């Protein structure tokens, strides 16, 4: 009986931690979308959140189909993460953070002081040297 109650307590603790992480991640994505001028509620709608993320980083909407192809979806996810970093003026260090600890770095990007610059994949927003032009 003691083993049963301790395993139940452990499962409850893990569930609570997972719930808190999920809420932080969703709140961070909500803020990222809002910073980019998109509806924040899109962060809670399955598949539409990926579509909006593709639009935030400047990729075409049809890339959503690529998320359903095994192995290709991994490559596309890495590219979109990199574009997300560049859209907010972040570099490789932040990309590694988003890749390894997204539940920490997504809220940092969403709630931090970093401003949305422009869609990274939109080449019209960059000058000849590849630097982002000031959209304002």
For 25-35, the pLDDT digits (tens) are: 999 999 999 99
Give the model's confidence band at 51: pLDDT under 50 very low, under 70 low, under 90 confident, else very high. Answer: very high
Q: Cβ(112)–Cβ(98) under 8 Å? A: no
For 77-116, the pLDDT digits (tens) are: 999 999 999 999 999 999 999 999 999 999 999 999 999 9
d(CA 78, CA 128): 25
d(CA 41, CA 87): 20
């Amino acid at each position: 009986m003691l083993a049963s109650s301790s395993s139940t307590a452990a499962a409850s603790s893990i569930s609570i931690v997972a719930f808190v992480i999920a809420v932080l991640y969703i709140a961070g994505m909500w803020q990222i979308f809002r910073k980019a001028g998109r509806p924040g509620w899109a962060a809670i709608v399955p598949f539409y959140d990926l579509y909006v993320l593709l639009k935030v980083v400047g990729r075409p909407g049809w890339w959503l189909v690529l998320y359903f192809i095994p192995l290709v979806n991994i490559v596309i996810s890495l590219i979109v993460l990199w574009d997300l970093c560049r859209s907010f003026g972040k570099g490789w260090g932040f990309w590694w953070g988003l890749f390894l600890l997204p539940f920490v770095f997504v809220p940092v990007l969403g709630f931090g002081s970093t401003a949305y610059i422009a869609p990274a994949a939109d080449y019209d927003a960059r000058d000849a040297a590849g630097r982002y032009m000031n959209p304002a």
